[in-house]
Amino acid sequence: MHIMLTRPIEDSKELIFRFKSLGHNVSHLPVINIKKIDIKKISYDDYSGIIFTSSNSVKFLETKNIDKTIYCFCVGSATETYALKKGFQNVYAAEGNVENLKEIIFKYFNKNSGKLLYVSGEVVSSNIHKQLIDSDYQVDRIINYSVEHNKEFDHKFIQDLKQNIPEIVYVYSQNSANSLLNIIKKYELVDYWMNTNLMCLGEKTSSVLNGIKWKKIFIFNPGEEEFLLYKI
Residues 90 and 126 reside in one and the same domain: yes
Q: What is the pLDDT of residue 108?
A: 97
Residues 143 and 56 reside in one and the same domain: yes
Residues 219 and 165 reside in one and the same domain: yes
Residues 61 and 159 reside in one and the same domain: no
Judged against a pLDDT cut of 90, whether residue 216 lies above it is answered with: yes
Q: What is the pLDDT of residue 220?
A: 86
Domain of 94 in residue numbering reads as 36-147
Nearest to 212 by CA among 176, 177, 167, 163: 177
Distance CA 119, CA 129 (A): 10
Q: What is the pLDDT of residue 131?
A: 95
Q: What is the pLDDT of residue 80?
A: 93
Residues 136 and 44 reside in one and the same domain: yes
Q: What is the pLDDT of residue 188?
A: 95
pTM of the model: 0.81
Q: Which of 125, 147, 169 is the last residue of a domain?
A: 147
Judged against a pLDDT cut of 90, whether residue 40 lies above it is answered with: no
Domain count, the chain: 2
Q: Which of 119, 147, 175 is the last residue of a domain?
A: 147
Distance CA 95, CA 80 (A): 11
Residues 166 and 128 reside in one and the same domain: no
Judged against a pLDDT cut of 90, whether residue 134 lies above it is answered with: yes
Residues 45 and 134 reside in one and the same domain: yes
Residues 94 and 180 reside in one and the same domain: no
Start-to-end C-alpha separation, the chain: 11
Question: Contact, 74 vs 80, CB < 8 A?
Answer: yes
Q: What is the DSSP string of 7-65?
A: S-HHHHHHHHHHHHHTT-EEEE---EEEEE-------GGGEEEEEESSHHHHHTS--TT
Residues 167 and 105 reside in one and the same domain: no
Q: Rounded to 5 degrees, what angle do the CA atoms 55, 61, 67 make? A: 105
Q: Which of 147, 180, 215 is the last residue of a domain?
A: 147
Residue 127 or 164, more confident: 164
CATH code of the domain covering residue 164? 3.40.50.10090
Nearest to 101 by CA among 72, 144, 143, 69: 72
Residues 94 and 9 reside in one and the same domain: no
Residues 53 and 76 reside in one and the same domain: yes
Residues 163 and 195 reside in one and the same domain: yes
Where helices occur in the chain by DSSP H, the ranges are 9-21, 55-59, 77-85, 98-108, 128-134, 155-163, 174-186, 203-208, 225-228
